[in-house]
Chains A and B, each alone.
Chain A
Amino acid sequence: MDVLLAIGTRKGLWLARSSDRRSWRVSGPQFPVTEVKAFAIDTRGSSPRLLAAVLNEHFGLTVVSSDDLGETWNEPEQAPIAFPEDTGAALEAVWQLTPGPGDQPDVVYAGTEPSALFRSSDGGKSFELVRGLWDHPHRPNWFPGGGGQAVHTVLPHPEDENSMIVAMSTGGVYRTADGGATWNPANRGVRADFMPDEYPEYGQCVHKVAMHPSNPDELFLQNHGGVYRSRDAGGSWESIEGGLPENFGFSMVVHPHRPGVIYNFPLTSPMNRFPPKGQCGVYRSEDGGGSWTQLRNGLPEEGFWSAVMRDAMCADDADPAGIYFGSRSGEVYASADEGEHWQQVAAHLPDVFCVRAAVI
């Protein structure tokens, strides 16, 4: 079994390969001095396809793909993602690349800055703006969080092609049940402590939402203050932050095979975004957020004044599952046993924006 781990950073892409998930061969950088915020390993076809959103500060953004595990990359002649002229908008960044469900093997979604959803029906070569979300009457009231105003989470329903959830900062969670024609906010119970009404219909600064494909009605959410679970596909949310040392953070990951098993990397308050006590620790819940256990065997015990961003934690699809995270200080850690033990994969990289891993 070979596992590929992709590491997107502020200054390029690194790829790591391992047959045992303990010893890693790390190669890179590719696309030096570009921001790689979004990456996907699409395993739906006969061979894996890699997709990367590559942002050059001078020359803008493009989406490239590789069908040979990163040996060579292809870029479409025409812009893969571009806002139509009538929108007056220009693409600033791609925050998410999400392959569609298995029965739609050519569908890929992209979440962008400014906040928009794009859909590809040719495997990621070209994307089309989902007008229903772009034309939403709430859009003038969405505003940028610290990192920009972007759709950073895209969760297509695994069986119902008309249903999907997206999340943005700020704006919160929105869902569609008619293939993207109309969207409704889905933030009931999610707090926005930076607004006069702390429980508005929309406007929350949601950092990440995760869904297990075998139980798509159950969602887990890391908010800008608050950790939540929904058991009705976003119809309402309840707090699951009890047992966590802090309710702030960015990442939220579901176990690939065990619904209700989730991973989180807590940080202290919005004004002090470090791990509690400078201790590097992943938290896992095995009961859907009812209780949490700190996992830090092999992680730095002190002096870890870094952070893990919203897409810088992931799971692979092996059994037992591998769990991975990268830090703003350029360290990448892997666990081959679902978080019980950790090993460093890489250090001294640029800020890690995203990690993605899969059996290849």
Chain B
Amino acid sequence: MVSLRLPSMLHPLARGHSRIEVTAATLGIALDAVREQYPALERRLRNEQGELRRYVNFYVDGEECRRLGGVDTPLSDHSEVMVIPSVAGG
């Protein structure tokens, strides 16, 4: 199972969970699974065209996904995806 770790401000949208486990071969498929269970959470992470939100980072086993394959980044059964908002705003 792939594990997604969420920042605290998103826990309410995952019914209080700090971690979600899904079965997925890529990051995009993992987010599809999130959409099935928690649609209000998933749209914080991707827009309606399936694009990752610019100021949300996805560290797949320690590496930000945009330096890997983006939404096509492959995941293993033991992958951990850390969702971390980037530095933005003022």
Query: Chain B residues with Cβ under 8 A from A103's Cβ?
Result: none
Question: Which positions 21-78 of chain A face chain B at CB distance < 8 Å?
Answer: 33, 56-60, 62, 75-78
The answer to whether B55 touches A77, judged by C-beta atoms less than 8 angstroms apart, is no
Query: Chain B residues with Cβ under 8 A from A59's Cβ?
Result: 10, 44-45, 53, 56, 85
Query: Chain B residues with Cβ under 8 A from A58's Cβ?
Result: 44, 53, 55-56, 85-86, 88-89
Whole-angstrom CA separation of A346 from B86 in the bound complex: 32
A91 CB within 8 Å of chain B: yes
Query: Chain B residues with Cβ under 8 A from A33's Cβ?
Result: 89
Interface of chain A, main secondary structure: loop
The interface centre, meaning the residue of B39, B56, B88, B89 with most chain A CB atoms within 10 A of its CB, is: B89
Whole-angstrom CA separation of A90 from B51 in the bound complex: 9
Size category, B interface? 10 to 19
The answer to whether A85 touches B39, judged by C-beta atoms less than 8 angstroms apart, is no
Query: Chain B residues with Cβ under 8 A from A56's Cβ?
Result: 44
The answer to whether B88 touches A82, judged by C-beta atoms less than 8 angstroms apart, is no
The answer to whether A79 touches B48, judged by C-beta atoms less than 8 angstroms apart, is yes
The answer to whether A77 touches B48, judged by C-beta atoms less than 8 angstroms apart, is no
A88 CB within 8 Å of chain B: yes
Chain A residue with minimal CB distance to B53?
A: A60
A83 CB within 8 Å of chain B: yes
B76 CB within 8 Å of chain A: no
Q: How far apart are A351's CB and chain B's nearest CB, in angstroms?
A: 11
Find B88's partner among A57, A78, A79, A90 (CB 8 Å cutoff). A57
B23 CB within 8 Å of chain A: no
The answer to whether B88 touches A60, judged by C-beta atoms less than 8 angstroms apart, is no
The answer to whether A79 touches B39, judged by C-beta atoms less than 8 angstroms apart, is yes
Query: Chain B residues with Cβ under 8 A from A79's Cβ?
Result: 39, 43, 48
Whole-angstrom CA separation of A57 from B55 in the bound complex: 7
A347 CB within 8 Å of chain B: no
Q: Could you tell me how many residues of chain A have their Cβ less than 8 Å away from some Cβ of chain B?
A: 19
Q: How far apart are B3's CB and chain A's nearest CB, in angstroms?
A: 21
A181 CB within 8 Å of chain B: no
Question: Which positions 23-59 of chain B face chain A at CB distance < 8 Å?
Answer: 39-40, 43-45, 47-49, 51, 53, 55-56
The answer to whether A77 touches B53, judged by C-beta atoms less than 8 angstroms apart, is no
Chain A residue with minimal CB distance to B51?
A: A90
Question: Which positions 44-80 of chain B face chain A at CB distance < 8 Å?
Answer: 44-45, 47-49, 51, 53, 55-56
Query: Chain A residues with Cβ under 8 A from B43's Cβ?
Result: 60, 62, 79, 82
The answer to whether B88 touches A77, judged by C-beta atoms less than 8 angstroms apart, is no
The interface centre, meaning the residue of B51, B53, B56 with most chain A CB atoms within 10 A of its CB, is: B53
Query: Chain A residues with Cβ under 8 A from B51's Cβ?
Result: 90
Find A90's partner among B39, B48, B85 (CB 8 Å cutoff). B48
Which 8 pairs of residues, A with B, have the shortest CB-CB distance? Answer: A59-B44, A82-B48, A90-B47, A58-B55, A58-B85, A90-B49, A79-B43, A57-B89
